Amino acid sequence: MAGNTYTSPVGRINEIKGEMLAISEPAEVLMMGVTPKKMPKNKGDNITYRAVIPAGGATTNSQTINRWSVSAPTYVVQEGVTPAARALSYRDVNVAVNQYAVLYSYTDKTADLHEDDIPGDQMAQTAMEMGLVREMVRYGEMKAATNVQFSGGTTRATVDEGATYNGFSLMSRTLQGNGAKMVTSILAPGPAYDTAAIEAGYIVFCSTDCEHDVRRLEDFVPVAKYANRKPLSPHELGAVGRFRFITSKELAPYADAGAAVGSTGLKSTSGTNIDVYPYLVCAEDAVYDVALNLNFDVTHIPAKSKTKEDPFGQRGYVGASFWSAAKIVNNGWFGVIEAGVTDL
C-alpha cells in the first residue's frame, strides 16, 4: 500500500531529535474576489443561473451584454396609438461542479510506534493542500477570462511590457462602461499624519513577483498610509486609483509565454521569452464560487478501525474531498491584464 509506514519516514535513531520545522503555508486570497453560492443537494451536478438582458444589450457580445442602450426617439408614442409590446430577453450561465479529493494513509505500526505524529501531520497537510486546490480552481477560471489586455502587445505571445498606469485606467474605463460595481468603499483620510484617501474601486489579484512593479505605478498608496490602517487582507499591498492590489505567491505566471526578452529588462524563466503574469481585476458579482458545501472537512479514519476489508485495523486514512466550480458569470465585470515584471 502507498502511504506512510514505520520505515517511511525513517526514524531519527541515535540522533538528537529537534522540533518539527515550520513549513510554508499556501495563501488563499481569491475567495475575496468571488461570490459564494451553495449548490442544492441531490439536484444533479449542473446548475444554471439566469439573468435578464438589459434593454439594448449586445446579446452577441458577452463582455458588453450588460450595457444598457436606448434611443429616446424610439420611445415616442403617437396620440391614441398603443405602442408595440416588447419581450424580455434572457441569458443562461451553466456551471458544472467537479469533485476534488486527496487521500493519505498510514499503518497501525506507524501510529503505535513511530516517533512522529504522522496522522496529525497528514491532517494538517490535507487541510492546507485542499485549500490550495480550491484556490487553483478559482485561479484557473479567472485567468481564462475573455476580457483581456496584453501589455505592449495584442496577444500573450507579444507581451513585452510591464503593467502600466494607463493599462489599469483602460481596464477601469471598460469595467465602469459595462456597469461593473465597485467591490470596495471609500476610505477617507484619517487624523494621523500622512494618511491618504482611498477611492472606491475594484480588487486586483497578482503574484508576489509583481510587487516591485505595482509599487512603482503612478499614485501608488501603500497600505501603511491607509486611513485607520484598514487593508482588505494581510496580503494587500496598496492602492492605485480605482484598484486595490492583493498579492499571492500561488498566482504563477505563464512561463516564457511572452515576446523575446531582448533588452526589455523583464523576467524570464529560460532567459529567452518573457514570463507573462495575469493581473486579475474583479468587480462585484463577476465570479461565482459554486460548491455543494462552502467548507470541507478533513476526514480521519484511525488505524485500529476494523472492517471486512481490514479485519485487524492495520491501516488508517486521512483525506478530504469537496464538490466545487468557479465560473465567471459576468464577463464584462471581470478583466485580466497580462504583463511582464521587472527582472531584479
pLDDT in tens, 165-182: 999 999 999 999 999 999
- Integer CA distances (angstroms), 7 to 2, 115, 238, 242, 315, in order: 13, 11, 49, 56, 15
65 vs 51: CA distance, rounded Å: 11
* pLDDT score of 222 more than 90: yes
**Would you say residue 298 lies in a domain?**
no
Choice between 27 and 287, residue whose per-residue pLDDT is larger: 287
**Would you say residue 248 lies in a domain?**
yes
**Would you say residue 37 lies in a domain?**
no
* pLDDT score of 147 more than 80: yes
pLDDT per residue over 252-296, tens digit each? 999 999 999 999 999 999 999 999 999 999 999 999 999 998 788
190 vs 67: CA distance, rounded Å: 37
Q: How confident is the model at residue 57 (pLDDT cuts 50, 70, 90)?
A: confident
Residues 6+ apart with CB under 8 A from 178: 63, 64, 66, 67, 332, 333
Compute the average pLDDT of residues 186-198.
Answer: 50
Residues 6+ apart with CB under 8 A from 326: 34, 137, 138, 140, 141, 142, 287, 288, 289, 290
Best CA proximity match to 337, nearest among 250, 276, 288, 263: 276
**Would you say residue 281 lies in a domain?**
yes
- The amino acid sitting at 331 is N
Compute the average pLDDT of residues 2-16.
Answer: 62
Best CA proximity match to 183, nearest among 164, 161, 166, 205: 205
pLDDT at 293: 87
* pLDDT score of 195 more than 60: no
Tell me if residue 170 falls in helix, strand or coil: helix
Please calculate the CA angle 278-35-253 and round it to the nearest 5 degrees. Answer: 15
**Residue 161 burial (CB < 10 Å; 0-12/13-18/19+)?**
middle
Q: Which domain holds residue 213?
A: 149-286+332-339
DSSP class of 242: T
Please identify which residue in the block is written with the cell numbers 531584479: 344
Asked if residues 256 and 322 have their Cβ atoms less than 8 Å apart, the reply is no
pLDDT at 246: 96
229 vs 245: CA distance, rounded Å: 15
Element (H, E) at 177: helix 165-177
Count of domains observed in the chain: 1
**Would you say residue 79 lies in a domain?**
no
Choice between 264 and 7, residue whose per-residue pLDDT is larger: 264
